[in-house]
Amino acid sequence: MTSGVLDDLRDSRYVADWTQYFVARPLSILGLVVLGLLLRWLLSRLIDRVTTRAAEGTVPGVLQRSKAHQMYLEANPVAAERREQRARTMGSLLKSISTGVLMTIVLFMVVAQLGYNIAPLIASAGILGLALGFGAQSLVKDFLSGIFMILEDQYGVGDAVDVGEATGTVEAVGLRVTRLRDVNGTVWYVRNGEILRVGNMSQNWARTVLDIPVAYSQDLARVRVVLGEIARQLWEDEEYRADIIEEPEVWGVERLDPDGVVVRVVLKTAPLEQWNVAREMRERIKVRFDELGIEIPLPQRVVWHREAPAPAVAAADEHQ
């Protein structure tokens, strides 16, 4: 009787162990994998929704732009395309990070379901991460800098920027390096971690600043009126009306140079249009000054000429 009960208990234990190894654990592992895939799908949908709203300019709170900037983006397809590219980049980055984190968590939980102690794995992962952090500090620095540059929209593809070591148009923005092409056609690869400051010459709006020299003999009041008329005519020109976003201003005398007086005129322009406007303004100023006889000064020098004394006079001076 007792042996029969023991056999029954032994058989029940074998069945329980068999069920645990071949039914419960596989089902648990399958459930963890399915749960991980479901969470990844939900996070991807959430990220896609946020990035889509960001691309459309409808992100609330601190990420939302001003109304003036929204109107500018709606009127400028290049800026809108850049915003969409930035949103897609951030979405891809967030998806990669979330997938990596979920896969790591699911892997550890699967190992735990198999009956192994995951504490050494967690400790090893921490030590490995610490070693990689010390061994690849510059790489981590580049990646973190790239993430914040994209998140803060410091610059984008097509912007004219000055990053210190190089100045040019941005051709590509990556998480590790930024590729620029300068005015001479040279391509510069700048590590994001080495960029200490960025001067963006094409974000939101730009300004054409022209310092026009005139001769000291000219009537400065007349010069200011003429410069204002030229700038206003350019502003009212249909070809440049979309490039100049505010009424031009003549600020007046900027400085007094040895060769002439410098008068400053400024025009607020759309991004990347300040150089075209400046070239057109210089050409129109030259033509108008020639018509009105306003002199653009040339370099001037004062030369002192002293004649040597006559020999007889010099000899008489010596005898005295």
Residue pLDDT, tens place only, 130-156: 666 666 677 778 888 888 887 777 887
pLDDT attached to residue 57: 55
* DSSP code at position 293: T
Report the candidate in 76, 55, 60 with the shortest Cα–Cα distance to residue 205.
76
Report the candidate in 248, 255, 259 with the shortest Cα–Cα distance to residue 225.
248
pTM of the model: 0.59
pLDDT in tens, 250-274: 999 999 998 899 999 999 998 888 9
Domains of the chain: 2-135 (no CATH), 160-200 (2.30.30.60), 206-292 (3.30.70.100)
pLDDT band at 209 (very low <50, low <70, confident <90, very high): very high
pLDDT attached to residue 268: 92
How do strand 261-269 and strand 206-214 relate by DSSP bridges?
antiparallel
Give the whole-angstrom CA distance, residue 33 versus residue 49: 24
Give the whole-angstrom CA distance, residue 106 versus residue 97: 14
In degrees rounded to 5, what are phi and psi of residue 210?
Answer: -120, 125
pLDDT band at 282 (very low <50, low <70, confident <90, very high): very high
Give the whole-angstrom CA distance, residue 79 versus residue 170: 14
CA distance readout (Å), 38 to 99, 105, 177: 11, 14, 34
pLDDT attached to residue 186: 92
pLDDT in tens, 87-138: 776 777 778 778 888 888 888 888 877 777 777 766 666 666 666 666 667 7
User: DSSP string of 26-94?
Assistant: HHHHHHHHHHHHHHHHHHHHHHHHHHHHHHHT---GGGPPPHHHHHHHHH-HHHHHHHHHHHHHHHHHH
Assess whether pLDDT exceeds 90 at residue 317. no
Report the candidate in 194, 9, 30 with the shortest Cα–Cα distance to residue 110.
30
Report the candidate in 171, 192, 153, 201 with the shortest Cα–Cα distance to residue 55.
153
pLDDT in tens, 73-88: 555 555 566 667 667 7
